[in-house]
Chain A
Amino acid sequence: EEQLVESGGGLVQPGGSLRLSCVASGFIFNNYWMAWVRQAPAKGLEWVANMDQDGSQKYYVGSVEGRFTISRDNAKNSLYLQMDSLRDEDTAVYYCARWRESRANAAFGIWGQGTVVTVSS
């Protein structure tokens, strides 16, 4: 079964840092682009960042540019999101998602269950 499992969420003060992890199983991880998508409480979906199979291409939504860093370790079948200088508005459920196909532009075919990040003093 193709699966993504996130971890690393929690409560953090404004200005703090957190590192999210996503472990993949059931498919060849280094064949796919991967992404982080978040959902603030009672709000819609917001794409946060994505990266290609070898990490040479990384893209971010403007609101996290310079604060968040996406990375991956293909040997560990893992995707990461380092979040620094966290703000109240970063409070959300963070989902790890995999492209449906190995091409550069594809829909999000597989989603994790999400990990909750709460930024509050």
Chain B
Amino acid sequence: DIVMTQSPDSLAVSLGERATINCKSSQSLLYGSNNKNYLAWYQQKPGQPPRLLIYWASTRESGVPDRFSGSGSGTDFTLTISSLQTEDVAVYYCQEYYFTPRTFGQGTKLEIK
């Protein structure tokens, strides 16, 4: 099975500062004739279901603020929040969607410093 490893496990960032979360896959997620990376990022706030933020590693879902961006290719990916807002406090998960089982990272808890 694919292993998805996020770093760090937790992160505290000051309001207005940049937050960076990393995700590493044990196999390349770059496949297909479309040459896309099968990697998504989700945000989960307490008591809520996950919300899709980014798919194809770098495409922002409709309605997601542009301070969220995804980058990377192959096995190494990054979620960046350019200017942290109070409402961004949450746990963030990466997930591959090429292989079965679909595997999530262990999650990164983001807090305000």
Contact = CB atoms under 8 A, between A and B. Distances in A.
A66 interface: no
Contacts of B38: 105
Contacts of B49: 95, 111-114
B40 interface: yes
B52 to A, nearest CB: 5
A106 B50 contact: no
B: contact size bracket: 20 to 34
Interface in A36-67: 37, 44-47, 50, 59, 61-62
A36 B35 CA distance: 28
Contacts of B28: none
Contact of A59 (B42, B93, B100): B100
B85 interface: no
Contacts of B106: 44
Contacts of A112: 49
Contacts of A109: 52, 55, 61
Given A45-B93, A95-B49, A50 B55 contact: no
Given A47-B104, A108-B52, 9 more contacts: A35-B102, A44-B91, A45-B50, A45-B93, A61-B101, A62-B101, A105-B98, A107-B97, A111-B50
12 contacts: A44-B91, A45-B93, A47-B103, A59-B100, A95-B50, A100-B61, A105-B98, A106-B97, A108-B40, A109-B61, A111-B49, A113-B49
